[in-house]
């Protein structure tokens, strides 16, 4: 994950608390102008406290943009203004889309495709964080299964066009995909 002249799209997947966000932040510290796009919304006290803690943990020189829904437009607006964009996370973005689009699979799929188009157009490197939800138990509710399926679809779309895909397990990365010439 380098913020150099070579643009790369990197997808970091992993379970809850697997170390995805910390891994991304550690790798991007000192990489120039970083835009951190946060998709979480402080809808309850626990989430508001979590958001405040995460803000305090980020490097002071990073620009934070809180974007629960309009990820496609924001990515394009950041293009050329930053060396690297970190999106944390696609999991909450997908959940936000489910609420905003009334769980309409077709509309959410269109948004995911537009997001991938934006990633293709962006001129700087992008690192995306998302949960891998396909390895756990089958959710007990219809909405839980729909969310798992939608996020799995979003992750597949992004992974298909990403240069690198890493799976974080207990804080350690496993390379799933790496199309870079040097394989690093």
Q: DSSP readout, 52-106?
A: HHHHHHS-TTSEEEE-SS-HHHHHHHHTTT-SEEEEE-HHHHHHHHHHHTTT-HH
Q: How far apart are CA 95 and CA 146, in angstroms?
A: 10
Tell me which of 54, 109, 157, 178 is the catalytic residue. Answer: 54
Q: How far apart are CA 62 and CA 157, in angstroms?
A: 28
What DSSP state is assigned to residue 79? T
Chain centroid, CA 93 distance in Å: 8
Active site annotation includes 54: yes
Task: List the catalytic residues.
Answer: 54
């Amino acid at each position: 994950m380098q913020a150099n002249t070579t643009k790369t799209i990197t997808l970091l997947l992993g379970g809850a608390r697997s170390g995805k966000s910390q891994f991304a932040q550690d790798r991007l510290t000192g990489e120039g102008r970083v835009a951190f796009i946060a998709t979480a919304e402080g809808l309850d006290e626990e989430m508001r406290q979590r958001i405040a803690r995460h803000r305090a943990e980020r490097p002071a020189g990073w620009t934070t943009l809180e974007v629960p829904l309009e990820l496609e437009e924001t990515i394009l607006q950041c293009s050329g203004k930053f060396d690297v964009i970190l999106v944390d996370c696609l999991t909450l973005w997908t959940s936000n889309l489910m609420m905003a689009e009334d769980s309409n699979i077709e509309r959410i799929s269109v948004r995911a495709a537009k997001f991938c188009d934006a990633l293709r157009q962006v001129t700087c490197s992008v690192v995306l964080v998302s949960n891998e939800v396909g390895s756990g138990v089958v959710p007990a509710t219809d909405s839980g299964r729909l969310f798992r399926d939608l996020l799995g679809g979003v992750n597949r779309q992004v992974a298909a066009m990403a240069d690198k895909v890493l799976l974080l397990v207990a804080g350690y990365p496993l390379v799933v995909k790496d199309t870079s010439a040097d394989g690093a």
